[in-house]
Amino acid sequence: MVHKQLPLKHYFIEPLWKNNQVLVAILGICSALAVTTTLITALTMGIAVSLVTGFSCLFVSLLRKWTPDSVRMITQLAIISAFVIVVDQFLRAYFYDISKTLSVFVGLIITNCIVMGRTESMAKNVPPIPAFLDGLSGGLGYGWILVLVAGIREFFGFGQLFKYQLIPASFYASAENPDGYQNLGLMVLAPAAFFIIGFFIWISNSITKDS
Amino acid sequence: MSPPVNRKNSNLYILIFIILLCTACGLLLAIVAYSLKGPQEAAKTFDQSKQMLIAAKVLNHQGEFTLIQEDGSLLLAYLDKQEGILKAVQDKKVAPATKEEIQQLAAWRIRPLLTDSEGNISTLKAHNLSLADYLSSNKGGGYATLPHKLFYAILSNDATVKNLSEEEVAKEMEKVSIIVIPVSGFGLWAPIYGYLAIQRKDADSVIGTSWYEHGETPGLGANITEAWWQKQFYGKLIFQEGSDGKTDFSTGEMGIIVVKGKVKDVFGASPKSKSAVDGMSGATLTGDGVTKAYRDSLSPYRNFFIQLRKEEGNGTQATST
């Protein structure tokens, strides 16, 4: 098989940029719109998706020789959902505040196309270690885009980064100073993420085309 | 290693494979759920007492202790563990309260008590109830509709009250500064649960509110959990004044109205505006649910509030305020 000749490093590096799941494969967009209003949630989501994808790929790959072809999708989904529930339960126990804001979206990792995309296109064809690395970095590739988008949205939408106020309160418009600065309300809404991700895809396309 | 192709595609093999896979996944989840149950419950309970303290303005959204002043302004404070009271800090900075401090303060200051439809106060112990069981078995239907309705008494910030038992507090309500009523209802997507903190003295004006469980849309309806929205509640009246500016305590409407838009555009300076707060744009249905939750959760406590007012010597007839 072709995959076996590639160095392990390749599996980890490839999905971060050249085969980035958000920028190149345009997967996982729906959750990228939803959880990128603040950096904390985007970061948590990125880590959660990385872990779920990594471990799902690992187990799909471990079982690849025993999995009958006709039920391989169901097998992948069962493994993915088990890990998603584990992550959800873990967040609920130790990061209650974050799990309150992320609740719905953590459950929706199951339907995140990245996880199934990686298990179906890579993990079921390669040995466990490369599969794990590929899955992990597939999630990380999604995570760093999310963090970037969230950084832009949080800064312009709330004037904050990681809930830390960066734009001083004195800049803001008030009764005495009606012409002052105002947060960009559009950034808080989902369409803003749509534009920003579109912009990123455009940049990444023009860079890859040049090289 | 791998089984031969023809055997791998037989129905029996597929069936056994799937059954084994599901059993393994099920087992994993059962173990995880079982072993994380303790920390999850603890996190939930802690969050509820935190939200209750936020409603009572003892804690702010940044997790710092605060002392509420007569005029409604807040002073940052720290917990003096020797005396067991909160003390205001002189400079403007204070470290966020630790988990232990919050739990300690909750144990010193919060007492769960029951009241019946006549307004008599009793303890959970008097009815052989445990708080945890009471909370979990009645959560769905709300506590307001029960014969024995739950409320929380928040004791005053005073070193002498921290060792008072629930029985003692039930008899001496003047040691209590704030009454917290559990509020529940339906938001746009799911049930919502929260608290409304009310001054014990006049049993009418609101200190604050908070929500500990909801399924509202982040950025829209979920703004009910944000500090800037909850800020407007201070000083609002739960007994709505009639259009003549008089409050009819025994039959008048109760609750806090979340209007669509701004209060001053909807009610102007009419008496109703004293019991109304601004809505959140894009979340009118959440606002309606919240309005209904306050009305339905507060009305059954009417006699309890009237009783509290009588003890303080406040009138309960239709009076002009």
Q: Does any CB of chain A come closer than 8 Å to the CB of residue B31? A: no
Percent of chain A with pLDDT over 90: 42
Q: In terms of pLDDT, which residue wins out, A43 or A175?
A: A43
Nearest to A78 among B22, B39, B215 (CB): B22
Residues of B in contact with A85 (CB under 8 A): 29, 32
pLDDT band for B315, please (50, 70, 90 cuts). Answer: low
pLDDT band for B216, please (50, 70, 90 cuts). Answer: confident
Per-residue pLDDT, averaged over B85-106, amounts to 85
Distance from CA of A141 to the nearest CA of B (A): 25
- CA–CA dist A133, A19 (Å, integer): 14
- CA–CA dist B13, A92 (Å, integer): 38
Say which residues have a Cβ less than 8 Å from residue B254's Cβ, sequence separation at least 6: B238, B239, B240, B294, B295, B298, B299, B302
Would you say B99 and B46 are in contact if contact means Cβ atoms under 8 Å apart? yes
Q: pLDDT tens digits for A110-135? A: 888 889 999 998 898 999 999 999 99
Give the angle subtended at the CA of B216 by the CAs of B63 and A185, to the nearest 5°. Answer: 75
Q: Is the pLDDT of residue A167 over 90?
A: no
**Beta strand B257-258 pairing with B276-277:** parallel
Nearest-CA residue of chain B relative to A60?
B21
Q: pLDDT tens digits for A45-67? A: 999 999 999 999 999 999 999 89
Question: According to the model, what pLDDT value does residue A180 have?
Answer: 80
Question: According to the model, what pLDDT value does residue B320 have?
Answer: 47
Instruction: Give the long-range contacts of residues B87-96, CB within 8 A, separation 24 or more.
Output: B94/B64, B94/B65, B95/B64, B96/B62, B96/B63, B96/B64
Q: Is the pLDDT of residue B321 over 50?
A: no
Averaged pLDDT score across all residues of chain A:
87
DSSP state of B87: E
Give the angle subtended at the CA of A7 by the CAs of A145 and A142, to the nearest 5°. Answer: 10
Residues of B in contact with A81 (CB under 8 A): 25
- CA–CA dist B118, B305 (Å, integer): 10
- CA–CA dist A40, A29 (Å, integer): 18
- CA–CA dist A112, A119 (Å, integer): 12
Distance from CA of B213 to the nearest CA of A (A): 8
pLDDT band for B3, please (50, 70, 90 cuts). Answer: low
Q: Residue B191's beta-bridge partner residues?
A: B186
Q: Does any CB of chain A come closer than 8 Å to the CB of residue B25? A: yes
CB atoms within 10 A of CB B246: 15
Distance from CA of A23 to the nearest CA of B (A): 25
Q: Is the pLDDT of residue B71 over 70?
A: yes
- CA–CA dist A63, A123 (Å, integer): 10
- CA–CA dist B210, A104 (Å, integer): 21
Would you say B240 and B252 are in contact if contact means Cβ atoms under 8 Å apart? yes
Q: Is the pLDDT of residue B177 over 50?
A: yes
Q: Is the pTM of this model over 0.80?
A: no
Domain boundaries, chain B: 44-320
- CA–CA dist A196, A201 (Å, integer): 9
Per-residue pLDDT, averaged over B98-115, amounts to 92
